[in-house]
């Protein structure tokens, strides 16, 4: 998946059709070899 944004060493990837591993739209943020996954939830 191509990156959506890059700033201060953070690289943001957006995934919206990755239903095999996650059930919600989500983003991955990578920094210095670490990764965090954040779900995108609409209220």
Task: Please state the pTM of the whole predicted model.
Answer: 0.66
Output 35 or 15, whichever has higher pLDDT: 35
State how far the Cα of 13 lies from the Cα of 3, in Å rounded to an integer: 5
Region 5-9: mean pLDDT is: 81
Domain ranges of the chain: 3-39
Q: Is the pLDDT of residue 22 over 90?
A: no
Q: Is the pLDDT of residue 34 over 90?
A: yes
């Amino acid at each position: 998946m191509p990156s959506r944004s890059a700033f201060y060493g953070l690289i943001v990837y957006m995934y919206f059709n990755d239903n095999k591993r996650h059930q919600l739209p989500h983003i991955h943020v990578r920094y210095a070899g670490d990764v965090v996954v954040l779900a995108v939830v609409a209220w």
